Amino acid sequence: MGGLTQDRDALPRAVSRADSAYEAARDLRRQLGDGPFDAVLVFCAPRFERALLAEALAAEFGPVPVFGCTTAGEIGPGGYTTNTLVGVGFPAADFTVVTALIDHVDGFEITDSTAIARDLMDRRDRALAERPVPLASADSFAMLLIDGLSMSEETVVSALHNAMIDVPLFGASAGDDLQFEQTFVLHDGEFHANAAVVALVTTARPFTVFRTQHFVSSDRKMVVTGADPQRRIVNEINAEPAGREYARLVGLDGEPLTPLIFAAHPVVVRVGGQYHVRSIQKVNEDESLTFFCAIDEGIVLTVAEGVDPVANFDGLMESIRDEIGAPDLILGCDCILRRLELEQRSLLDIMSSRLALHRVVGFCAYGEQVNGMHVNQTFTGVAIGRR
């Protein structure tokens, strides 16, 4: 049922393929061990009955806080996987973790972020003061998990990043295996829709928050000439039906538009001197396009061209090693469109081996967040080094 045997030096991580929620939770706790843990992070396939899984995890881990989200695929100790429950334990000897639930994110106000950040930092400071053995020279990072269909990521991540000042932040949007019906975050023994969880993680271990993408801009431009920003829908590109004009610009005029095509032919927007992918979620019956991120009339988009994703990943791992040494654990948020592209190009097994080699655990997401930005088609996360 379970995953790989723990490496002696690695932080605890596990995957369960058990059929039932109770078996999966029990299997996960057995693999992670007895800790003691300050918190447990889980990524769960949407096939599990949520109420039963939340109850089972609470029963298995007792007073230890468990938080997480639903996925569009998981990354376990052996690489990419599906229909599983993946978990990471934060040992109390090395970590202090405090979390907060943000409800009703579709009505989130920027002013809410100040109170949330202050509460998290106050609780972190109290927890650090109460530790039996202090964390010497400790530093903090924040992780955000948010309903991937709430269309609230930009507002929440920007406000939280500004409120948390010098704390590096990363995260991702929960998934539901490309059904685009409902996504959930887990906090305090319950799954919540239209919500987010933010965790403030403090450790004396070295760490670095990162983001990478394997696309560069081309000379093929398009202007959004009709849009419904609240629903992230583009109706017109270059004064033509959006789906039809996009297909023409990527050389697929008249062909059905599928997630695989969107994965292979993303569009990018230039912000602050850098290009950021703006991924397309789906084409609608009226030939409009629904995006995974904020979009508006007048925005100039550029068709992107891919570079080798495996070489790009290898370069990222080299830069991480240069900064913190060989990581004990990488928490990774990988856009689902990256995984679809890897499958299409028969690179999934190669990348899975790379993920396992570098101790990556995480999930496939509907969007990623890094510091103050909501981005798409990236691999984003935190690498945590040795003591």
pLDDT at 304: 86
Indicate whether 279 pLDDT > 90. Answer: no
Chain segment 58-77, per-residue pLDDT in tens: 999 999 999 999 999 999 99
User: Which pLDDT score, from 0 to 100, does residue 7 have?
Assistant: 54
pLDDT band of 215, cuts 50, 70, 90: confident
| Digit-coded pLDDT (tens) for 31-43 | 999 989 999 999 9
- Alpha-carbon distance 90 to 94, whole Å? 7
Mean pLDDT across 110-132: 96
Residue 3: pLDDT over 90: no
At 5, is the pLDDT very low, low, confident or very high (cuts 50, 70, 90)? very low
Residues 6+ apart with CB under 8 A from 274: none
Task: Name which residue leads in pLDDT, 245 or 387.
Answer: 245
What would the pLDDT profile of 329-383 be if each residue is shown by its tens digit?
999 999 999 999 999 899 999 999 999 999 999 999 999 999 999 999 999 999 9
Asked if residue 303 lies in contact with residue 252, where contact means CB atoms within 8 angstroms, the answer is no
Mean pLDDT within 314-339: 97
Specify the pairing of strand 169-173 against strand 139-146: parallel
The mean pLDDT value of the chain amounts to 94
Residue 288's nearest CA partner among 248, 236, 238, 253 is: 236
Q: Which helix (H) or strand (E) holds 312?
A: helix 309-324
* Confidence class for position 1, pLDDT limits 50, 70, 90: low
- Mean pLDDT check: name the lowest of 114-128, 148-162, 292-306, 348-362: 292-306
The 3-state DSSP class for residue 290 equals: strand
Contact call for residues 197 and 101 (beta carbons, < 8 A)? yes
d(C-alpha 287, C-alpha 231), whole Å = 15
pLDDT tops 80 at residue 10: no
pLDDT at 263 over 70: yes
Q: Supply the pTM of this predicted model.
A: 0.91
Q: Please, what is the Cα angle at 237 between 232 and 241, to 5 degrees?
A: 90
Domain ranges of the chain: 13-212+310-384, 215-306
Per-residue confidence band for 209, with pLDDT thresholds at 50, 70 and 90 = very high
3 state SS of 287: coil
In the CATH scheme, what is the code of domain 215-306?
A: 2.40.30
Q: By C-alpha distance, which of 248, 245, 244, 250 is closest to 262?
A: 250
Handedness of CA 50, 202, 149, 291 (dihedral sign): negative
Nearest one of 294, 323, 379 to 80, comparing CA atoms? 379
In 3D space, the residue among 38, 39, 26, 46 whose CA is nearest the CA of residue 67 turns out to be 39
Query: pLDDT band for position 9 (50/70/90)?
Result: low
Assess whether pLDDT exceeds 60 at residue 385.
yes
> Would you say how long the chain is, in residues?
387
**Whole-number Å distance between alpha carbons of 170 and 199:** 10
Examine the pLDDT at 285 and tell me if it is beyond 80: yes
Amino acid 307 reads V
Contacts (Cβ under 8 Å, ≥6 apart) of 72: 175, 176, 177, 178, 336, 339, 363, 364, 365, 366
